[in-house]
Amino acid sequence: MGIFEYAPAPESRDLANLKSHYRPFVNGEFVDGSGEPLKTINPATEEVLAEVGTASVSDVDTAVKAARKAYTGVWSKMPGSERAKYLFRIARLIQERSRELAVLESLDNGKPIKESRDSDVPTAAAHFFYHAGWADKLDYAGYGPNPKPLGVAGQVIPWNFPLLMLAWKIAPALATGNTVVLKPAETTPLTALVFAEICQQAELPPGVVNILPGAGDIGAALVGHGDVNKVAFTGSTEVGKAIQRQIAGTSKKLTLELGGKAANVVFDDAPLDQAVEGIVNGIFFNQGHVCCAGSRLLVQESIAEELLEKLRYRVSTLRLGDPLDKNTDIGAINSAEQLAKIKGLVESGDAEGAQRWTSPCPVPERGFFFAPTVFSDVQQSMRIAREEIFGPVLSVLTFRTPDEAVTKANNTPYGLSAGIWTEKGSRILWMANQLRAGVVWANTFNRFDPAAPFGGYQESGFGREGGRTGLEAYLDV
């Protein structure tokens, strides 16, 4: 077909050092879990990658006890400058093993190697690096002199950025002096367990970090455990609400990072070609499995046609396929379950009268894949404008004036992020002021940095991760 076909450029699978069996990490060692082992699959091929031992409720108790012992006996007594050096070591080890981690992440999660290599893994290392520097500077964090940690943190993370979400949770917790028990997502446990190896290589004192693979019931057991002082959850709004209900009335501190339905607002004076890039990045990066995805394009009516034409052309150049191929832009959907959810919502879009366009890119026969799709003529009342699809599906709505853009953008119970595209500085700042979203990107999208706090308004959760603000979640202040 094309005269410039890119030959397959696969990253080597062997770099992942895949084992046939992985085990939970408790008190500095890999131990057998007494839960039913799970099989984690490669969503691009549906083949089994490995068997992973899981925790049972009693394992949760063992892990929390280990975390408590490490907290009381070692970690809370250790000067911040020494804690810092452990975190610096971990950051360096992540950098050293970055290629292995990137390949493993792509195998287990389905995201393109180019993203795990260039985005997920380096940013995870950066989080440890950044937070290492806070460990002995908490007096300067604005929470008064000598702020104290909370104790043991129970952390539950999602499958969309497995290693990065682990970094967002563990780095600030450890830097502030807490110990952790973390449950990775059921479908993506592997990089968390390699992280556990890294903790061993860093000679982190046993019990400071504990990793328990398992499903939702184990997450609930961890969250509900009486000796956990702090709960941190990133995942669906539905589960977040359940957790908030579960710990209501207890003294546990809670932070939640939940779903979103972000508006990406493009004005008629936007830098158009870069706006197209930002839209594409906003909804197709990580196959749209992003809580802060720009899943609603709000485009000023006067330029809508021109923009959509450019957008469709651009989307048709996106390469969908083998996540391990370095030229792949869009990888696999993480699970059959998620693929079914996406398809269901897409069908609702058709049924409710939106205009669907799907990229003509070839789609692999095996594995869970969904071609990038753009719905136009979407109205606020449609499900595809209100519900989080968590897939590579963009809903396009129009607006006439800045006020109308604000109204439509804010017309959602979510409030995680938003995008603004205009060359006019005052409008950027005015819009940013008006938008009810915890993260506002202007003339860019999906930018993450450990120094920049991240989190949502309303049903997108509460609490922030990153920056000075993010330390608060793990301090007794």
Partner 1 sequence: MTATTSSSAATATPSPLADATRDEASLRRFLHGLPGVDQVGVEQRAAGLGTRSIKKAAKLWAIDTAISMVDLTTLEGADTQGKVRALAAKAKRPDPERPDTPQVAAVCVYPDMVETAVEALRGTGIHVASVATGFPAGRTSREIKLADTKIAVDAGAAEIDMVIDRGAFLEGRYSQVFEEIQAIKAACGSAHLKVILETGELATYDNVRRASWLALLAGGDFIKTSTGKVSPAATLPVTHVMLQAVRDWFVQTGELRGVKPAGGIRTTKDAIKYLVAVHEVAGEQWLNPDLFRFGASSLLNDLLLQRRTQADGHYSGPDYVTVD
Partner 2 sequence: MSDRISVAKTYKLYIGGKFPRSESGRVYPVTDTKGKFLANASHASRKDVRDAVSAARKAFGGWSAATAYNRGQVLYRVAEMLEGRREQFVAEVSASEGVAAKKAQSLVDASIDRWVWYAGWTDKIATVLGAANPVAGPYFSFTVPEPTGVVGVLAPQQSSLLGLVSVLAPVLATGSTAVVVSSADRPLPAITLSEVLATSDLPGGVANILTGRASELGSWLASHGDVNALDPTGAEPSARADLAREAAGTVKRVLTVPDAEPDWTADADISRLRRYLEAKTVWHPLGV
Provide the minimum distance between the beta carbon of 474 and partner 2 in the complex, in angstroms, as a whole number. 16
Q: Catalytic one among 257, 387, 459, 472?
A: 257
Provide the minimum distance between the beta carbon of 383 and partner 1 in the complex, in angstroms, as a whole number. 32
By CB under 8 A, name the one of 278, 438, 453, 456 that touches partner 1. Answer: 278
Please, which of residues 346-405 interact with partner 2 by CB under 8 A?
401-403
Q: Would you count residue 3 as binding partner 1 (CB under 8 A)?
A: yes
Q: Would you count residue 436 as binding partner 2 (CB under 8 A)?
A: no
Q: Catalytic one among 11, 115, 186, 291?
A: 291
Please, which of residues 261-300 interact with partner 2 by CB under 8 A?
none
* Secondary structure string (H, E, C) spanning the chain: CCCCCCCCCECCHHHHCCCCEECCEECCEECCCCCCCEEEEECCCCEEEEEECCCCHHHHHHHHHHHHHHHHHHHCCCCHHHHHHHHHHHHHHHHHCHHHHHHHHHHHHCCCHHHHHHHHHHHHHHHHHHHHHHCCCHHHCCCCCCCCECCEEEEECCCCCHHHHHHHHHHHHHHCCCEEEEECCCCCCHHHHHHHHHHHHCCCCCCCEEECCCCHHHHHHHHHCCCCCEEEEECCHHHHHHHHHHHCCCCCEEEEECCCCCEEEECCCCCHHHHHHHHHHHHHHHHHCCCCCCCEEEEEHHHHHHHHHHHHHHHCCCCECCCCECCCCECCCCCHHHHHHHHHHHHHHHHCCCEEEECCCCCCCCCCCCCCEEEECCCCCCHHHHCCCCCCEEEEEEECCHHHHHHHHHCCCCCCEEEEECCCHHHHHHHHHHCCCCEEEECCCCCCCCCCCECCCHHHEECCECHHHHHHHHECC
**How far is Cα 438 from Cα 144, in angstroms, rounded to an integer?**
25
Q: Would you count residue 433 as binding partner 2 (CB under 8 A)?
A: yes
Nearest to partner 2 of 267, 375 (CB atom): 267
Provide the minimum distance between the beta carbon of 162 and partner 2 in the complex, in angstroms, as a whole number. 23
**How far is Cα 109 from Cα 2, in angstroms, rounded to an integer?**
30
Please, which of residues 402-431 interact with partner 2 by CB under 8 A?
402-403, 425-427, 429-430
- By CB under 8 A, the count of residues binding partner 1 is 25
Q: Would you count residue 347 as binding partner 1 (CB under 8 A)?
A: no
**How far is Cα 124 from Cα 167, in angstroms, rounded to an integer?**
5
Q: Would you count residue 94 as binding partner 2 (CB under 8 A)?
A: no
365 is catalytic: no
Given partner 1, partner 2, none, residue 3, with its beta carbon under 5 to 8 Å by kind, binds partner 1
Q: Would you count residue 270 as binding partner 1 (CB under 8 A)?
A: yes
By CB under 8 A, name the one of 94, 107, 132, 258 that touches partner 2. Answer: 132
Please, which of residues 416-445 interact with partner 1 by CB under 8 A?
423, 443-444
Q: Would you count residue 148 as binding partner 1 (CB under 8 A)?
A: no
**How far is Cα 389 from Cα 344, in angstroms, rounded to an integer?**
9
**How far is Cα 375 from Cα 384, in angstroms, rounded to an integer?**
9
Given partner 2, partner 1, none, residue 142, with its beta carbon under 5 to 8 Å by kind, binds partner 2
Q: Would you count residue 350 as binding partner 1 (CB under 8 A)?
A: no
Give the per-residue contact string, 441-470, with partner 2 (x = CB under 8 A; - = no). Answer: --------xxx---------------xx--
Q: Would you count residue 145 as binding partner 2 (CB under 8 A)?
A: no
Q: Would you count residue 95 as binding partner 1 (CB under 8 A)?
A: no
Nearest to partner 2 of 136, 352 (CB atom): 136
361 is catalytic: no
Nearest to partner 2 of 301, 309 (CB atom): 301
Given partner 1, partner 2, none, residue 327, with its beta carbon under 5 to 8 Å by kind, binds partner 1
Q: Would you count residue 317 as binding partner 1 (CB under 8 A)?
A: yes
Residues within the interface to partner 2 (CB under 8 A): 81, 84-85, 88, 126, 129-130, 132-137, 140-142, 401-403, 425-427, 429-430, 433, 449-451, 467-468
Binding site for partner 1 (CB under 8 A): 2-9, 114, 118, 269-274, 277-278, 309, 317, 326-327, 423, 443-444
Annotated catalytic sites, by residue?
257, 291
